[in-house]
Amino acid sequence: MPLSDVRHALRLYRRSPGFTLVATLTLALGIGANVAVFSIVYATLLQPPPYRAVNELVEILDRSTRESGLSKLFASYADLRAYQEHSRTMTDVAGVTWAIRAETLTGRGPARGVMAVAVTSSIFQTLGVKAALGRTFTPADETHGCSVVLSHGFWSSALHQDRSIVGRTLALDRRACTVVGVMPAGFAFYPPVTQLWTLLTPDFPTPREQIPTIAIGRLKPGVTLAQAEQDLTALHTAVHSSDGKERGFVPSVDPLQTALTWLAGRNLRTTLWVLFAAVGVVLLLACWNVAGLLLGRGLARTRELAVRAALGGERSRLVRQLLTEALLLAGAGGAAGVALAFALVRWFRSVNPVELPPGADVHINVPVLAFAAFASLAATVAFALIPAWKMSHVDLNEALQTGGRGIAGRPFRFTRALVAAEVAGAVLLLAGGGLLMESVLRMRNAPLGFEPDGVFRAPLTLNPRYNTQARARFYERLLERVSSAPGVTHAAIASMLPPGTGGQSAMRVQGRPFDEDRAAHDVAEQSVTPGYLETLRVPLLAGRDFTAADRADSQPVALINHAVASKYFGNGNALGAQIRFNERDPWITVVGIIGTEKRVTVYREMDWVSAPMVYRPIDQQPAASVTVAVRTAANLAVEDAIPKAVAGLDSEIPLGQVEPLRADLDRFLAYPRFRAALAGGFSLFALLLAALGLEGVLAQMMAQRRQEVGIRMALGATPASIVGLVARDGGVPVVAGLGIGFAATAGAGPVIRNLLYEASPLQPAVLAGVAAALLATAAVAIAIPARRASRTDPMEALRQ
């Protein structure tokens, strides 16, 4: 790139500050959006998690062989031990439980709940991560009482980075637990809310054999996933050949990075690639826009280029000059785009709108900057090469004779094609954004079978000193206190409030044959207090609700929702039926049928499911971890009512954050809202680019045809006919772009189908709205040059 070409290009840009600013900002927005989204894609999908040789790490779960798409998620502890001791395909196998419950930390200010995850001693060794302070677990720790490893965040916030904490003890659920180490600041694993890790020791409060685990393994060199599954399946079969507890399930081995991405969001991978494709379309539209501007600007310089060629300038020299100008423009747009990307990434990190996999650190790094350079270079080729080539092939004699006025037709056929392509891209993005936004609104406003507005909830966990009877008494007293608080109209306690579902089991019905191998694990069970239906406004369809008489020493009873009644009893009367989930348990009498609450499932993101649910009186099945819910009068804020009631009974019981129940639903919609908001923003930008491109092409076209317009008007053409002329020139590429865009939307349907809720990719209302918005915008874009052309002075045009 000769310096003379650079100086000439800079002079040209200084003479046209408006053109330079518009083109630079257009490219900056396109490149900046691409770089920002790519930084998220790279951190989430391309950059490996911060574990040693992560490509060797796998996650081992149990998959159902009977029900397609159903995973048991967790393996038994017996399976884990068999994998650790006998696997021939793994060098290391470690176990991680899900967050079973919050443990109570005392002795350091007010009692607080901390999210502790029980693991086997080899977990950190398997992941290949060392402690930043102290050490990680060793097998010897399993025989030395309670030991814990702290997360860096918990150590910093709760313990104020006290380096002397290693070797000292923390009081967790009245157990003295020795702190053996603190993990590095960048370390994270699932669940992401983990504050400390404890060991699955023989004296763990919950018997190890009853704890479901996720096994994390490291493959031996050369071992494939299929070979590992075959090896573990044989061990699984041997473990359960006699007890029959795991019939119908087989081990499923998946790459750890893929599993972590799925856990962060069921459609996270698809979401990011769809958004990345969307910003790619935006950048392409920006490049086409600038290409149209450059071509129109080049037509105005046709006589200059012809004179330079006549004076001995070779075509290659002219192309080099045009490409130099484009490269400078792309460089300025790329630099401004990177600055915009820095701001967008900083906003993303501060707002944290969605959960990302562990270790996904979104920032502008060397690979992201390399992508920015590539995007800028690709943009140069996209918007500069064809205009430069076209302008270098203009007939020089014709250009010198006409001054460039008579050669507008052929280049503007190309710019009209660019406008059609811009409209098609805008239609694709508008339709996609509209469908995603409509899906979010449909999901948020869908009838759920309960009324979340006006309900506040707070989770709490009783520590192990509360036995079954003590839990029931505590919940009874707590409910009395909460119900009498000012502003509370109804109160209830449940083991799990919607939208969560919990685990699912196979239900037995007395008098019907039960086949363990073929039974569906589809019914969830939860415990509730009397008043649950009134608090959540769930309708009672038949029978009765729970009463204070349904106690531990009374007949076991249950409520079932309509989903259970219709699936298991059909048109028959379910009232009085006897059900149970374990053959060792007593039969439970169905005393009532209630409406089905819509809940969420871990397998499908864009769906409310009518989960079959059985409800038990909390006195008869008192869970250790529950949620307190209160309904307020006139939606009054009662955030203090639950904490005061709990503290008045036991100051050492930690209480989770008191929030509106609607907040849980909003969290579930975080990913759909995030991608809908981005897609909507990209689509509006695309619409703006298409409108600017159309207006710019028509304005340049009319400037080139000014003499023709003057002749037409001198021969009697009316302003209305001139407006019609401009409208035809602009309307043809718009209509063509609409057709191409709708076809592209239909082709993209299978890709975005899983991101939609009760909507097809060709939703008529959305497509009609897209067409209306684009036609209205195009009408405005056409009206501006049309109005200007209709006011042309024929005598002045002819003189020029």
Give the Cβ contact number of residue 286 at 10 Å. Answer: 31
Report H helices in 42-63. none
* Cα-to-chain-centroid distance, residue 701: 44
Residue 33 Cα distances to 27, 36, 93, angstroms: 10, 5, 42
pLDDT at position 707 is 72
Quote the pLDDT of residue 756. 86
Which of 755, 747, 688, 40 lies closest to 434 in space, CA to CA? 755
Question: pTM here?
Answer: 0.79
Q: Are 705 and 408 in contact (CB under 8 A)?
A: yes
> Distance between CA 269 and CA 278 in Å, rounded?
14
- The per-residue pLDDT for 259 is 87
Alpha carbons 361 and 338: distance in angstroms, whole number:
18
pLDDT score of 338: 92
Q: So what's the pLDDT on residue 75?
A: 75
Q: What is the pLDDT of residue 172?
A: 87
Write out residues in the chain with pLDDT < 50, as ranges: 399-400, 404-411
Hey, which residues does 219 pair with through a beta bridge? 90
* Inter-residue contact 125 to 112 (CB < 8 Å): no
Q: Report the candidate in 656, 691, 749 with the shortest Cα–Cα distance to residue 101.
A: 656
Asked if 390 and 414 count as a contact pair (C-beta separation under 8 A), the reply is yes
pLDDT, residue 290, reads: 79
- The per-residue pLDDT for 285 is 83
Q: Could you give the CA distance from residue 162 to residue 168 in angstroms, rounded to a whole number?
A: 11
Looking at residue 596, its pLDDT comes to 94
Partners of 527 in the β-ladder: 616
pLDDT, tens only, 128-183: 999 999 999 999 898 878 899 999 999 998 898 999 999 999 988 878 899 999 99
Copy the structure tokens of residue 246.
């795991």
**Among candidates 103, 137, 101, 105, which has minimal Cα distance to 119?**
137
Yes or no: say if 526 and 495 are a contact pair by the CB < 8 Å rule. yes
Distance of CA 582 to the CA centre of its chain: 38
Task: Note the pLDDT tens digit of each residue in 524-561.
Answer: 899 999 999 999 999 999 999 999 999 988 999 999 99
What is the SS3 assignment for 507? coil
Contact assessment for residue 378 and residue 291, using Cβ atoms and an 8 Å cutoff: no
Give, in degrees to the nearest 5, the angle at Cα 394 between 405 and 14. 70
Distance of CA 115 to the CA centre of its chain: 24
| SS3 category, 365 | coil
For residues 33 and 279, the answer to whether their CB atoms sit within 8 Å is: yes
Neighbours of 728 (CB within 10 A): 10
